[in-house]
Amino acid sequence: MSVLKTLMLTTTDSFRYANAVAMIVAASFNYLMNNKSTYSESSLSGKRIIAGYVIYLSITSLGLGLSLLISGEIYDRIQLPMLSALCGIVVGSLWNYFMSYNFVWRMLSPKAKPIKQN
């Protein structure tokens, strides 16, 4: 939210642009924090952290898109940027948490069980 507010005060008055940039910053920060704390038992390192980041951004792009769509529509109706962003964050966060856990850390963890092939 602070990135959004800062961008809207200093760079642009376009809510959608500022919101998109703020979401990319938040997604990158969340990936790094998740890797260090939330999923510390299966933390990625080396080449896996880069591969995980690419997969994470691919997966979360749908969550980011949903968040942008919802927050943009709400902003058009009520013209309150922080409340609009918060509504989008809730939806995007739920999507990102469940999908990133299943497709990033579970799949790329060194502790992951290999997929059995018949």
Residue 96 has pLDDT above 60, yes or no: yes
Which residues touch 44 (CB under 8 Å, ≥6 apart)? 35, 51, 52, 104, 105, 108, 109
Token pair 């918060």 is found at 86
> What tens digit of pLDDT does each residue of 17-47 get?
888 888 888 888 888 887 787 666 667 778 8
Q: What is the pLDDT of residue 101?
A: 74
Q: What is the pLDDT of residues 42-77, one digit of tens each?
A: 677 788 888 888 888 888 888 888 888 888 889 899
pLDDT at residue 115 is higher than 60: no
Residue 46 burial (CB < 10 Å; 0-12/13-18/19+)? exposed
Global pTM value? 0.61
Domain residue spans in the chain?
2-108
Q: Which of 37, 41, 99 is CA-nearest to residue 65?
A: 99
